[in-house]
């Protein structure tokens, strides 16, 4: 009886609980469902905002300013071993150069020059400082120095740097350089020589130390000195013979600068200057004073022709847009060969006088080397006739009144000939030049060298420094183009003839 009542009570209580739960679950579930829906909506809105408004993290960094060490140049210059295997009396050398306080990386700009009108900055190009003149910078220069520089190559490099510093400090306000005496009016020629000296060391308008020097010099040639027809002003003077030397030197410098920088303004100026030279060539391939083509003062003058020959080769290597350039080079070689005197193995100074000067054989041979005629009988015979020249700064042995000028050519001839000819020469010649350099980095020609001593230190310094840098200024590969065997190349290869 009691058991039945308990069961009945339990059933009643369970029924009441279930009924209560049913009444609670409905509203609670509805509330919970709305909460879930509301939460989901909030998350969606927040997520969308995060997608459309990304966070930006700003981090403040304090920059460390690093000061570059000043270029170390020419400190404690000491010649290496100066003992020679030759029976020759050499002067004692004691060179102790201290950099003056003046040189800085910053140079005063030219007055009254609109730099913005001519943006002389190197243009990136596959031609710039590749195979064309790869020996002039970095590892290429060091490799060439070790292979061809001789025993005193380190001293030669430091002497060349001293010369560059002197030239930098003595640049005129308008960007030019000036000679002395009868060479004073020929500022175009002196500026061309100075630029060639910097270019030989691999300096361009982008160089850290000499970039401004190069820009100012190139601006002088292209904007101040050059006329619309490609010729140049600032060319007077007895040493210049009515502009013919200045034209060749300036065109040579512009062609090298065009190859090394690809600055459009410089390229156009170089092409115009070379065009003027080609148009002034005689029909027989010679060059005379003032570019007279017929009946001139000298007819085919060897000394005059040497500069156009150098300029033509530089233009060829720079791949300037001059359609008849190769024909002009061949004609110039023929004109130089026409001055050869077979029975003497030498070259005339000029075809009109037919006088033979041994000193004129060096520029003739170099010209033929440059024009890919190094293996011609004229070039080989000329080389043999001058292969035993000696050096003496105060008593030059050669029969010529401008010995440094002739040494400039002979030094290049021997280098390109190579072998025992170069080995015999290089140590003696470098020793003589380094020994003769002034403490300020310049050279001055003694009166014993003839009238050239009056041309001034810019003349002497450029020719001396160019001679000291010959072993990396060019690569010694003067062989005719048609003797080089053909090689297979990929489509992307850049084929560049080098000298």
DSSP secondary structure code for residue 91 in this structure: -
Is the CB of residue 347 less than 8 Å from the CB of residue 382? yes
Residues 6+ apart with CB under 8 A from 187: 172, 176, 177, 178, 179, 225, 234
Backbone φ, ψ for residue 58 (5° rounding):
-110, 125
H helix or E strand, kind and range, residue 336 = helix 325-337
Asked if residues 441 and 461 have their Cβ atoms less than 8 Å apart, the reply is yes
- Asked if 358 and 402 count as a contact pair (C-beta separation under 8 A), the reply is no
Query: SS3 for 254?
Result: helix
- Say if CB 119 and CB 397 are below 8 A apart: no
Of 79, 76, 78, 80, residue with least CA distance to 99: 76
Taking the C-alpha atoms of residue 426 and residue 85, their distance in angstroms, rounded to an integer, is 13
Q: Strand, helix or coil at 356? A: strand
Give the separation between CA 357 and CA 252, rounded to whole angstroms.
25
Q: Judging by beta carbons within 10 Å of its beta carbon (0-12, 13-18, 19+), is residue 131 exposed, middle or buried?
A: middle
End-to-end CA distance of the chain: give it in Å, rounded. Answer: 130
Which phi and psi (to 5°) does residue 203 adopt?
-85, 135
Pick the closest to residue 154 from 430, 460, 401, 492 (CA basis): 430
Q: Is the pTM of this model over 0.75?
A: no
pLDDT given for residue 35 in this prediction: 66
Give the pLDDT of residue 151.
Answer: 80
Tokens of 426: 């290089």
pLDDT of residue 82: 41
Residue at token pair 């100012």: 216
d(CA 117, CA 408): 37
Question: Is the dihedral angle over the CA atoms 319, 305, 389, 447 positive or is it negative?
Answer: negative
Rounded CA gap, 338 and 335, in Å?
5
Q: What are phi and psi of 146, to 5 degrees?
A: -70, -35
For residue 30, what pLDDT is reported?
63
Place of tokens 């005629």: 373
C-alpha 193/C-alpha 16 separation (Å) is: 118
Which residues lie across from 346 on neighbouring strands?
A: 341
Q: Which of 363, 247, 273, 284 is nearest to 325 (CA)?
A: 273
| Residue 288 burial (C-beta neighbours within 10 Å; 0-12, 13-18, 19+) | buried
Q: List the chain pLDDT tens, one digit each, 499 residues.
A: 544 445 555 565 666 666 655 555 566 556 566 665 666 555 544 444 434 444 434 344 343 333 333 333 333 434 344 433 333 343 343 434 333 333 333 333 433 433 333 466 676 543 344 444 555 655 656 666 667 666 888 999 999 999 999 999 999 999 999 999 888 889 999 999 999 999 999 999 999 999 999 999 999 999 999 999 999 988 765 445 568 999 999 999 999 999 999 999 999 999 999 999 999 999 999 999 989 988 777 789 999 999 999 999 999 999 999 999 999 999 999 999 999 999 999 999 888 888 888 889 999 999 999 999 999 999 999 999 999 998 999 888 766 678 899 999 999 999 999 889 999 999 999 999 999 999 999 999 988 777 888 899 999 999 999 999 988 676 543 433 333 333 444 444 333 333 3
pLDDT at 172: 98
Q: What's the CA gap between 283 and 287, in Å, rounded?
A: 9
Residue tagged 């369970």 (tokens) = 14
Classified by CATH at the fold level, domain 146-479 comes out as Glycosyltransferase (1.50.10)
- 214 token code pair: 């190069």
Q: Which two tokens stand for residue 263?
A: 């600055």
Cα 410 from Cα 389, distance rounded (Å) = 9
Q: What is the pLDDT of residue 38?
A: 61
DSSP β-ladder status, 340-341 and 346-347:
antiparallel
- Backbone φ and ψ for 356, nearest 5 degrees, come out as -100, 120
42 alpha-carbon distance from chain centroid: 69
Check if the beta carbon of residue 455 is closer than 8 Å to that of residue 180: yes
Torsion angle, CA of 132/419/479/469, rounded to 10 degrees? 30
Structural contact between residues 251 and 316, judged by C-beta atoms closer than 8 angstroms: no
């Amino acid at each position: 009886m009691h058991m039945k009542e308990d069961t009945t009570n339990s059933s009643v209580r369970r029924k009441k609980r279930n009924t209560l739960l049913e009444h609670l679950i409905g509203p609670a579930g509805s509330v919970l469902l709305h909460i879930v829906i509301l939460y989901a909506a909030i998350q969606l809105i927040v997520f969308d905002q995060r997608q459309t408004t990304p966070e930006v993290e700003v981090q403040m960094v304090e920059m460390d300013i690093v000061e570059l060490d000043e270029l170390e140049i020419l400190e404690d210059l000491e010649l290496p071993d100066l003992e020679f295997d030759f029976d020759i009396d050499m002067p004692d050398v004691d060179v102790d150069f201290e950099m003056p306080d003046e040189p800085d990386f910053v140079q005063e700009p030219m007055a009254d020059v609109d730099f913005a009108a001519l943006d002389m900055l190197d243009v990136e190009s596959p031609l710039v400082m590749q195979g064309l003149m790869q020996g002039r910078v970095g590892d290429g220069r060091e490799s060439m120095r070790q292979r061809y520089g001789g025993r005193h190559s380190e001293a030669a490099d430091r002497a060349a740097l001293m010369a560059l510093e002197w030239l930098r400090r003595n640049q005129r306000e308008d960007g030019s350089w000036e000679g002395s005496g009868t060479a004073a009016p020929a500022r175009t020629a002196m500026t061309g020589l100075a630029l060639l000296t910097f270019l030989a060391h691999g300096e361009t308008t982008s160089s850290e130390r000499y970039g401004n020097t190069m820009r100012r010099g190139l601006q002088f040639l292209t904007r101040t000195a050059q006329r619309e027809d490609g010729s140049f002003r600032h060319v007077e003077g007895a040493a210049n013979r009515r502009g013919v030397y200045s034209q060749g030197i300036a065109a040579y410098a512009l062609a090298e600068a065009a190859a090394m920088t690809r600055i459009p303004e410089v390229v156009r100026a170089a092409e115009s200057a070379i065009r003027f030279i080609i148009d002034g060539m005689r029909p027989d391939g010679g060059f005379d004073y003032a570019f007279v083509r017929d009946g001139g003062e000298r007819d085919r003058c060897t000394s005059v022709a040497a500069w156009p020959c150098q300029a033509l080769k530089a233009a060829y290597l720079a791949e300037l847009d001059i359609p008849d350039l190769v024909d002009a080079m061949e004609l110039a070689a023929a004109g130089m060969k026409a001055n050869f005197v077979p029975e003497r193995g030498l070259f005339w100074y000029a075809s009109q006088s037919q006088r033979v000067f041994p000193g004129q054989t060096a520029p003739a041979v170099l010209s033929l080397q440059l024009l890919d005629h190094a293996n011609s009988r004229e070039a080989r015979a000329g080389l043999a006739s001058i292969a035993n020249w000696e050096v003496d700064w105060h008593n030059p042995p050669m029969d010529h009144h401008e010995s440094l000028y002739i040494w400039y050519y002979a030094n290049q001839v021997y280098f390109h000939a190579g072998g025992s000819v170069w080995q015999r020469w290089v140590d003696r010649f470098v020793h003589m030049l380094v020994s003769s350099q002034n403490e300020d980095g310049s050279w001055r020609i003694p009166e014993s060298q003839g009238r050239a001593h009056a041309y001034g230190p810019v003349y002497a310094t450029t020719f001396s420094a160019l001679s000291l840098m010959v072993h990396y200024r060019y690569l010694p590969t003067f062989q005719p183009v048609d003797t080089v065997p053909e090689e297979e190349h990929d489509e992307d290869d850049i084929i560049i003839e080098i000298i």
